[in-house]
Structure 1
């Protein structure tokens, strides 16, 4: 569906009715070239998605559950710097054009060029000067900061669909397809790596298996030498011409550094060793082929899953890690907000916490004294300050400064931890952290439940 200036004007009017005087609560990086503004208005959160993908310029509302969020880039940080916690005053459309102007308090604004191809989002300061832009990759429409904003001239509109309605089927289908492809890639990357490893492994196992089939040949070489050359103690021969027990000529390879009898002993040992290994390798070959077949079936199954099933499988993967933690009987608490705190009681458990934690999980440790590693297991939302303070109190409680009942605690995320070869169990290197002053109060465990 192509939208002209009058269509966009009606959409701007509708947006004004919904978002007038709404507060910008959060600004997040969406899928690929998308920016998600979370507006708060009269107790309701609205997620407005600005899409400036090269082939699909768009502006639409979306449910949070249908969105994927990614690490912010420098351009997004610029948006956060200028527009976070600002109030949206008005949305205008430039006369006879497809440019929406979002005007915030203190006269800062965002100009959104809503074109099928070559969409752009431009940050304008109170003097109507450009502070930054988010041009589509296929269009050279980036603007230099501090330039005066001039209404751009674009080529004639193409027939590509342009979507702005809340429930547009075209756009939702496109976005869900992109998100589904992303989830499939995320789910299959580990399986593909494992599958590649198993295929390399089966090659080596089959090579060893074929070597084991030579056990009878080695036994025959040893028997011929002992039967016909038992008294021969020559050295320096690389091969021995002889006959088998049926009178057929046989050429036996020899190690020139060993005597003929010593070569016979080596062949006997090799034959015995390979015969023992043969049934073990047969079992390994079958087992590895079964694993390969299972992984290939899993990959095929994931390719056929719909969007909702893919999201569920991601949560199941998270649950399996939690089950692994519970299996090791770690000290685990849960607060009234559903956050789980995992505490390592010794160096082995601290090491296990390091291995099981994911990049977004929060890690805490007494800054100045030895003690336990404490992990906040992060699911959908990041922990608030009270949750972090509870975890910090646990870190103090399970350290050698517990009698002081207060002190500094290191707070960081798992992605800022590393471990080099040779480091003792439980030891990690912290590349970035913040110090938090924490206290052990008498009532801090009241909202905690031991799992």
Structure 2
């Protein structure tokens, strides 16, 4: 199911159980559409994520790490002014809609207590987060300000009266009396009841097919949640009913609560979106260069194919020189016998040229093509290497974590693809080299997160008898298994990590090459991350997120 009203209802219950009575200790806005409130509750700090993202809007507790931007946004400054140290009184849902309100009680500078409401509206591209003064009903601030010209229904600026989004005039399923829905289709259910999404209505339709009532469904929903992600018809879906209930389910993962479910469900989607926000201008520039390079490779290959006629031009020159006495001046063509195979060959001539000039013309074409081949091959190699390099950089942005983006930017600066920031920019903290894991049998594994790290790990820091892993013929990270005598389990796990940190992350049966580092070398002048090797073996593995996470925890 999607994050519909039913899911929102269950999430509000979970938030009340974990965060009600807690105190807000920290407020961050790590990305344009996302707010993080650190809430101290039951002697534990928990991060509450409020997202107004157009595609991934949601509210949940999250365990994902978030960096605090150096400069807080205007919205964060307003929140810090009014609700820092505020007490979380309650989480409420508007009927069964995807609108969640958090009642807050905060003291001002004079010690007076004021009540506020932090409201998140989950409405796709219209999603928004509001801080509302409960006493006046006015908007203190909001994460997305909208001018009156773009929204005539209600004011969406600080100081406007807060007005609820347009009502759907549907029935709240939590306020009905033992209603029998037998005979209603999934579409009818969605039209009649508020907050029931496409997947939920399909599950409800199956549930009531046997004559059960809506109340039966609501009781099962209230008392038997089973958070899961189920793959059904090649689609990855959220769920909170037992997986066996969905007949088309082929694969499922279960979780202890809804927040853990969302962290796992959105981990790649949100990560890619955040990376895209940070690197949009860079990837745009790389895409332009890559497009030009691919076009150049195509042209160079075409030029190289044209050199196939080189031998023919040389033959024509030879035949015209040999049979020059037979050529009549002013002829446009002549048919001569090829003395290499005794076949007749028709050769075009320039009527304005003498027989000798015609022969020299073909020799000239032959020499021009002959001289161009080394240059074409050289340019083809250079451009192909650049294409491979740029594809590897763009691919790495699909599987690295948000904190690894700085390393990729540094790599592009060193390689001359983007300009270095001005000298007075704040210095970035030096980060550890690579990502560390440990196999089930205790062998250390390390992964390069960009091409500069790949070079460092493979060519400088690893021992010659250690083992190197990389997906076969696909952009990906270098993975080092730090042992000279690896066991089969460690080999499989290192290969799984290599497949996971590659462009083949979402594939299955991924071929991974592995070889001792002594059999690897880096050609002079090669792009970062590029190596050649021999004597490798290949293993097929599935990129398993849970296995990789477990190996990381081992470390």
Deviation per CA, 1:125-152: give whole Å up to 9, x if none.
5732235556899x99864445433566
In the TM superposition, 1:43-442 aligns within 5 A as 47-53=47-53, 58-63=58-63, 65=65, 67=66, 77-80=73-76, 82-86=78-82, 87-93=84-90, 97=94, 98-105=100-107, 107=114, 109-113=116-120, 120-125=128-133, 127-130=136-139, 133=142, 143-145=155-157, 146-150=159-163, 153=167, 155=170, 156-158=194-196, 168-182=259-273, 196-197=291-292, 199-229=294-324, 239-246=332-339, 250-255=345-350, 258-278=353-373, 281=376, 310=401, 314=405, 317=408, 320=411, 324=414, 356-357=419-420, 361-364=421-424, 376-379=426-429
2:338, 2:345 within 8 Å by CA — same for their partners in 1? no
Tell me if the contact between 2:57 and 2:123 (Cα under 8 Å) persists in the aligned partners: yes
Distance 1:123 1:144 in 2: 11
User: How far apart are the structure 2 equivalents of 1:321 and 1:178?
Assistant: 24
Q: Could you tell me the TM-score, scaled by structure 1's length?
A: 0.51
Tell me if the contact between 1:202 and 1:289 (Cα under 8 Å) persists in the aligned partners. Answer: yes
Q: How many residues align?
A: 323
Tell me how far apart the structure 2 counterparts of residues 312 and 147 of structure 1 sit (CA, whole Å).
Answer: 38
Gaps of 5+ in 2: 95-99, 109-113, 171-193, 201-237, 241-255, 432-555
Cα deviation for residue 50 of structure 1 reads 0.8
3-state SS of 1:214 partner? helix
TM-score by length of 2: 0.43
Unaligned runs of 5+ in 1: 326-351, 365-374, 382-451
* Larger RCO (alpha carbons 8 Å, 6+ apart): 1
Q: SS at the partner of 1:149?
A: coil
Find the aligned partners of 1:205 and 1:7 in 2 and give their Cα distance.
58
Corresponding residue SS for 1:168: helix
The question of whether the paired residues in 2 share the 8 Å contact of 1:121 and 1:133 is answered with yes
8 Å contact kept, 2:51–2:59:
yes
- CA-based RMSD of the aligned residues comes to 5.6
Q: Distance in 2 between matches of 1:244 and 1:293?
A: 48
1:152-177 superposed Cα distances (whole Å, 9 cap, x missing partner): 656523266799x9982211112203
